Amino acid sequence: MASIARLLARLIEVQAPWAKPLGEFNKRWIGWITHRLGPLTDLLHGRWLGHPLHAATTDVPVGALTVSLVLDVLDQRPAADIALIIGVLFMLLSAVIGAVDYADTDGTALMQATVHSTVMVLSLAVYLVSLAIRAGQPDDRSAAVVSAFIGYGLLTVGAYIGGHVVYALGNMTWRHAFLSRGSKWQPIELDPAIELADGAPARVRFGSELLVVVRIGETIHALHEKCAHAGGPLSKGTIVDGCIQCPWHGSRFELATGHVRRGPSVYDQPRYEVRLGEKGWEARRFPS
């Protein structure tokens, strides 16, 4: 079975010659739109839910279109058509929501997400053909049913590739899922009270991890250095309204709490306490 998985992964990778430039092109125009939608962008990312909204909405069309297929086989015409209409409507909704995440995706994930979205658009087009045939209420529905089967095949392929982008490439997953939850005090290689300019982020070593430390007046804030969205370096970010803003896609995290205040991240940033211990400055992860 592992060889099948490798073959499928290879089949996705060889799409790079067309998917890479198309992805860069799509990212530009989709990003131009989504970055002007203000709070609606965050709503579509799923920041309010604490998980990417795209993952939740894609379940509905897969379920509805599976039911539609079964009802087609059983020749339950009105019910099959209703399930197909629901599936198509949720495919459109999922496409819009997925496009918002797509605009903040880079590299290999962007290339593979382009393959995923292209296959899904093809599936949607075939389903619209099936719907148009059904609308004519023909006695012989063979063409409508066959096209629905083709659409379902494409949907399955597209869903597989989408799963690969998430599970194999870690796109839109929480970057700190495997970070130790231990809260032991450990030394940090910096004296924040002396070496930090007020409001200037600095990267400091903390055991095997890196933190971004910011001094605001007498208060020293520390968060994990890698952005929860896609691992951007927060120490290269900017301080905005009590938050640190990631330089890669603009997620903002409250310095005082680590809470995400603006996407594309839908996850909070691990937060650390800093104190002056007996042997010098040290930090520990704040229990969340």
* Binding residues for ligand FES (CB under 6 A): 104, 227, 229-232, 246, 248-251, 264-265
| The pair of three-digit structure tokens given for residue 182, joined into one six-digit string | 């231990």
Q: How far is the CB of 71 from ligand FES (least distance, A)?
A: 42
Q: Which residue has the tokens 């306490």?
A: 273
Rank residues 54 and 141 by Cβ distance to ligand FES and give the closer one.
54
Rank residues 68 and 251 by Cβ distance to ligand FES and give the closer one.
251
Which three-class secondary structure state does DSSP give residue 14?
Answer: coil
Rank residues 170 and 187 by Cβ distance to ligand FES and give the closer one.
170
Rank residues 90 and 174 by Cβ distance to ligand FES and give the closer one.
174
Q: Please state the separation of Cα 279 from the chain's center in Å.
A: 42
Q: Hey, CA dihedral for 93, 97, 99, 100, is it positive or negative?
A: positive
Q: How far is the CB of 106 from ligand FES (least distance, A)?
A: 8
Q: How far is the CB of 107 from ligand FES (least distance, A)?
A: 12
Q: How far is the CB of 105 from ligand FES (least distance, A)?
A: 9
| The pair of three-digit structure tokens given for residue 230, joined into one six-digit string | 């896609």
Rank residues 104 and 282 by Cβ distance to ligand FES and give the closer one.
104
Q: How far is the CB of 233 from ligand FES (least distance, A)?
A: 9
Whether the ω angle into residue 233 lies within 30 degrees of 0, i.e. cis, is no
Contacts of 60 (CB under 8 A, 6+ apart): 86, 87, 90, 94
Rank residues 201 and 250 by Cβ distance to ligand FES and give the closer one.
250
Instruction: Give the DSSP per-residue string, 231-254.
Output: --BGGGSEEETTEEE-TTT--EEE
3-state helix, strand, coil in the chain (%, to 5): 50, 15, 35
Rank residues 61 and 263 by Cβ distance to ligand FES and give the closer one.
263
Q: How far is the CB of 144 from ligand FES (least distance, A)?
A: 43
Q: How far apart (Å, rounded) are the C-alpha atoms in residues 77 and 150?
A: 18
Q: How far is the CB of 26 from ligand FES (least distance, A)?
A: 18
| The pair of three-digit structure tokens given for residue 279, joined into one six-digit string | 């042997």
Which three-class secondary structure state does DSSP give residue 36?
Answer: coil
